[in-house]
Amino acid sequence: IGQNDLTALSYLHEPDVLYNLEVRFKERQVIYTYCGIVLVAINPYQDLPIYGSDIIRAYRGHSMGELEPHIFAVSEEAYAKLEREKSNISIIVSGESGAGKTVSAKYAMRYFAAVGGSESETQIERKVLASSPIMEAIGNAKTTRNDNSSRFGKFTKLLFNNEVSMMSLTGATMQTYLLEKSRVVFQAPGERNYHIFYQLCAGREKYPELMLDHQDKFKFLNQGHSPNIAKVSDAEEFNETLKALVTLGFTPGEVDNIMRVLAGILHLGNIKITDSGDNDQETSAISSNDISLSILSDILKLHKADLSHWMTTRQIESFNENVLIPISKSMAEAARDALAKHLYSKVFHFIVQTVNRNLMSGKNEDTFIGVLDIYGFETFEWNSFEQFSINYANEKLQQQFNQHVFKLEQENYLKEGIVWTMIDFYDNQPCIDLIEAKLGILDLLDEECRMPNGSDASWVSKLNEKCTKYKHYDKPRFGTSAFLIKHFSDTVQYESQGFLEKNRDTVSKELVSVIQQSDMDFCRHLI
């Protein structure tokens, strides 16, 4: 026992696999084990001295299996294949939330930057590695499972020039997926908003004009009642983020504008909306003396009266005229929060575009090594649209894994006439069908969003009517507002509240127009 490749075990079943991993981790302090072409990594929740330049040099030129299992061995395998075959190749980093995917992806990128670099290209290496702290600041957050959880998916392409004998790193580009916008306006107990907001509050003396306060004073930051991360200084992290932005070529003006919009989002969340209706009609109001409204309008150069008006009023187009309707306090708060999410999404994508622009060398890159770091499978006490999207993505990844490790491999054995007892593996296609087939979960959700009186409750009742034929769908024993999906990893109960709103992802046209009419060029450019 204690094999460095699980396929060498006499019995490849769950108890033996787990015991083998336990022996390697507890007795030998080894976190990596192979399972054929797959590297299994255990998160040690501490920094280990196994990622230095000397270790990179040790794995360079060695095939997988020659040395002890390591993320660098997998990276070397990818790099060697790139050199040999001159074709694109990708590494998929998957696992549950908190498993250590982001750190593993970072070490893989560090390896490629080191072996693909040369003395003249250290600037490219520095830029590639500097993209990590930026993306973690704007896309990672503390959850109950993980202090530095990626709340978006990221596919990084490391670009190589194949016109020379040795593959040299010439640049990089990234695509992002599924940014969790709802986190901007709400955090569950024990969780935080995106790191960048806390960093900005901790370093607020650098930006006195933004009128920032302690993090606990902002509604968008204090709902989780867990503002700090053990052994992490947000002030120091903010300095790292600013340094990385400079390395990636952001101008001082761009950095200042980004911080202005982020501060504006925090002040937006503190605008106090009151209920001003009588018994007949629910209406809402914002005081003209609201300090947060004034600061927001000032720092983003917005028209204050228009902002206040369109946060509490809705315009409906009827025949040839526009009708103005006052809205309730809850609807006004939803409009405010939708604007905050919209603004953050725009800032996030502006930063990604700028990082990509500065990572590209401008040459024709023929080949790339891709590193996919995507959300891990999630199940919390309360699971909503975000967990549903994440777990659906993981079902697709699991299917990809099944295709490569089992289906295609066994088909090759049959083609080559190898005597082989077929492994009966778990095929999750029926679960994917439940989600994406016609009259499946997503189809019914989109249909409900188009209905004038569509609601979360009526959507669930349609699911119960149409989806019970799928063995991966179930109803909870109590209540009618939730539904269950039997995923490959676990059975998850999803609460339907908010699904329609999050799927529609709408923001008031009039509020967006107020931002478009800002006297600040950057705001207009964002929108």
**Catalytic one among 98, 249, 454, 498?**
98
**Catalytic one among 20, 131, 150, 297?**
150
Rounded to whole angstroms, how far apart are CA atoms 71 and 101?
11
Known catalytic residue at 83:
no
CA distances from 356 to 123, 134, 166, 369, 526 (A): 15, 12, 24, 16, 16
Rounded to whole angstroms, how far apart are CA atoms 509 and 430?
40
* Token couple for 139: 């896309």
Which amino acid is it at 416? E
> HSE (CB half, 13 Å, CA atoms) of 123?
10
Give residue 118's pLDDT: 57
Known catalytic residue at 97:
yes
Query: Which single residue is written with the structure tokens 């295609």?
Result: 408
Known catalytic residue at 98:
yes
**Catalytic one among 20, 102, 156, 193?**
102
**Catalytic one among 33, 131, 146, 428?**
146
Contacts of 304 (CB under 8 A, 6+ apart): 288, 293, 294, 297
Known catalytic residue at 27:
no
Known catalytic residue at 367:
no
Give residue 24's pLDDT: 95
Q: In terms of DSSP bridges, do strands 274-275 and 482-486 run parallel, antiparallel, or are they unpaired?
A: unpaired
Give residue 94's pLDDT: 86
Give residue 412's pLDDT: 79
Give residue 278's pLDDT: 63
Give residue 7's pLDDT: 82
CA distances from 277 to 51, 246, 326, 332, 518 (A): 63, 50, 9, 13, 30
Known catalytic residue at 378:
yes
CA dihedral 476→480→486→487, nearest 10 degrees, is -130
DSSP 121: G
pTM, two decimals, is: 0.90
Residue 175 backbone class (left: φ over 0; alpha: ψ -120 to 50; beta: rest) = beta
* Token couple for 384: 């909503």
**Catalytic one among 153, 224, 376, 440?**
376
**Catalytic one among 97, 292, 379, 496?**
97
Q: In terms of DSSP bridges, do strands 491-495 and 482-486 run parallel, antiparallel, or are they unpaired?
A: antiparallel
Whether the Cβ atoms of residue 479 and residue 473 lie closer than 8 Å to each other: no
Rounded to whole angstroms, how far apart are CA atoms 352 and 153?
12
Query: Which single residue is written with the structure tokens 């040459």?
Result: 363
Known catalytic residue at 43:
no
100-158 pLDDT, tens digit each:
998 999 999 999 988 887 554 567 788 888 999 999 999 999 998 889 999 999 999 99
Give residue 293's pLDDT: 98
Rounded to whole angstroms, how far apart are CA atoms 519 and 521?
6
Give residue 365's pLDDT: 64
Give residue 9's pLDDT: 85
**Other beta carbons less than 10 A from residue 126's beta carbon:** 14
CA dihedral 200→201→206→208, nearest 10 degrees, is 120
Question: CA torsion sign, 24 to 26 to 31 to 37?
Answer: positive
Contacts of 412 (CB under 8 A, 6+ apart): none
Give residue 135's pLDDT: 96
Known catalytic residue at 150:
yes
Would you write out the chain's pLDDT as a tens digit for each of its 527 residues? Answer: 789 998 888 887 889 999 999 999 999 999 999 988 889 999 998 889 999 999 999 999 999 989 999 999 999 999 999 989 888 999 999 888 888 998 999 999 999 988 887 554 567 788 888 999 999 999 999 998 889 999 999 999 999 887 666 678 888 999 999 999 999 999 999 999 999 999 999 999 999 999 999 999 999 999 999 999 999 999 999 999 999 999 999 999 999 999 999 999 999 999 999 998 665 678 999 999 999 999 999 999 999 999 999 999 998 887 778 889 999 999 999 999 999 999 999 999 999 999 999 988 666 667 999 999 888 888 988 999 999 999 999 999 888 887 777 777 777 778 888 887 776 666 899 999 999 999 999 999 999 999 989 999 999 999 999 999 999 999 999 989 999 999 998 999 999 999 999 999 999 999 999 999 999 999 999 99
195-254 pLDDT, tens digit each:
999 999 999 999 999 999 999 999 999 999 999 999 999 999 999 999 999 999 999 999
Whether the Cβ atoms of residue 152 and residue 105 lie closer than 8 Å to each other: no
Give residue 1's pLDDT: 73
**Catalytic one among 378, 386, 395, 495?**
378
Rounded to whole angstroms, how far apart are CA atoms 506 and 495?
21
